[in-house]
Structure 1
Amino acid sequence: MSSTTGVSPPGAGATGVTREPVRRHLSVRQADTVARLTDAAVEEVRGTGYEGLTVRNVAKRAGVAPATAYTYFASKDHLVAEVFWRRLQTQPPTPPDPTATAARRVTTAIGDIAGLVGDEPELAAACTTGMLAGDPDVERVREQIGVEVADRLRAAMGADLDEDRLDALQLALWGAMLSAGMGYFLHAELAQRMAGVTRIVLGD
């Protein structure tokens, strides 16, 4: 999902990329406002789905003025992309098992990522749609997500790291997430479906 075509995995081969937070230097009050908005967005999506989601309704649920909400989130796509990014940040990966094969370690890492929204189909679909948007705010969040996912897969591969295979896994993972978002299979099935791909890519 590159910023231009929406198909290349974000962060692919992004070794050494400096990761910056979506917004820096927030006061405690501002950080609380952002948290309230993202929490409210999740509740709104659960009730209305992506189509019914609006920044204005999220602001109302969060008890925030719409004008204030728009100073933090330019669009509903920006908002749901931020929801996924925050979940990725706050839910650390399972520590790699040094006795397991590379394929099993990577499968575990992918399961962690898939589990961020896997049991919430409306939210998963909203995040998939939102992260495909081409506006600059979404592009920035998408790149941060891509770098984090690449780092997690790289750590899981460990001594078996091969950048070409890492790129292949990222392509497969983002393609699988897009397919789930399009309704070809349930998000809850994503990790299982990726397990076979991972074994093929890593030769396990």
Structure 2
Amino acid sequence: MAPPNTTITLTRALTRDQQARRERLVKAALDLAAEGGYTSVTMHDVADRAGVARATVYRYFTSKDHLLSEVSALWIGQVIDELTASELPADPAGRLAGMLCRLVEVSAENRLLTEAILQAATSPDPSAEASHQTFAYTITIITDTALGAPEDEAARAHFRDLQTVLGHVLLSGLLSLSHRGRSTEEVQELMRTAVRLVL
């Protein structure tokens, strides 16, 4: 028996139709976020855009931030695919700076979507935890691709520290880009400086 005040979450596999409906909801939320930012994503409008009843949205997502965490995973996955497939500088520091600068550029090109994703990623809503994990995953993939994952434990510990620092710098840079009106070039320079200092 679970102790008092414990939340137990039951999960079940989705049928093919349910999975397709869920993906349609995420795509509808992504489109709404890209068009109008965080405030444009409401469960009502997502349901309308996806062509389902509003109650259907709540069958798959407990909150708006939960839904946006899935939007974040979808969009960042697409961006990471582009970054890892692109031609990068030969030196590790150049590769890392190049990937981070391109991520900043893509975020600037999709400023309203970036704003919505960041709002969910910094939300205290427990259901948005996936957004926090997605952001950490982004830095992990970028650093692993650019630098190669180290093999010995001491180097791995240092690498995790590097990822943590770069993650915080990237989050700060993207927030200043989407919320404070800093230019793409300023934020890219911040990322180059961070890479130079940590490496």
Greater relative CO (CA pairs within 8 A, separation 6+): 1
User: Alignment partner of 1:134: what SS?
Assistant: coil
SS at structure 2 position matched to 1:74: coil
The aligned residue for residue 194 of structure 1 is 191
1:153-200 alpha-carbon deviations (Å, 9 max, x no partner): 133122787423333222211221222232241468644541232123
- Choose from 179, 185, 189 the match for 2:182: 185
Alignment pair present for 1:76 and 2:64: yes
Q: CA deviation at 1:34?
A: 1.9
> Which segment is superposed worse, 116-125 or 68-77?
116-125
Is residue 2:58 matched to residue 1:61? Answer: no
SS in structure 2 opposite 1:94?
A: helix
- Structure 2 unpaired stretches of 5+: 1-10
Aligned 1:26-65 pairs, distance under 5 A: 26-65=14-53
The DSSP-based 3-state class of the residue aligned with 1:109 is helix
Q: Give the structure-1-normalised TM-score.
A: 0.73
Aligned residues: 180
CA drift of 1:60 comes to 0.8
Aligned runs of 1:124-139 on 2, under 5 Å?
A: 124-139=114-129
Q: Residue by residue, what CA displacement relative to the aligned partner does 1:109-163 show, whole Å, maximum 9, x if unpaired?
A: 3245435543121111111111111222211332143134223213312278742
Who wins on radius of gyration, i.e. which is larger?
2
Q: Give the share of equivalent positions with the same residue, in percent.
A: 28
Equivalent pair of 1:55/1:69 in contact (CA under 8 Å) = yes
In 2, are the aligned partners of 1:50 and 1:122 still within 8 Å (CA)? yes
Match of 2:113 among 123, 139, 150: 123
Specify the SS of the correspondent of 2:112: helix
* Structure with higher helix content: 2
> 2:28·2:50 contact (CA, 8 Å) conserved in 1?
yes
Stretches of 4+ moved more than 6 A in 1? 96-99
Structure 1, unpaired ranges of 5+: 1-22
SS of structure 1 residue aligned to 2:192: helix
Post-superposition CA distance 1:78-100 (Å, at most 9, x none): 22221121122244132587972
**Aligned Cα root-mean-square deviation (Å):** 2.9
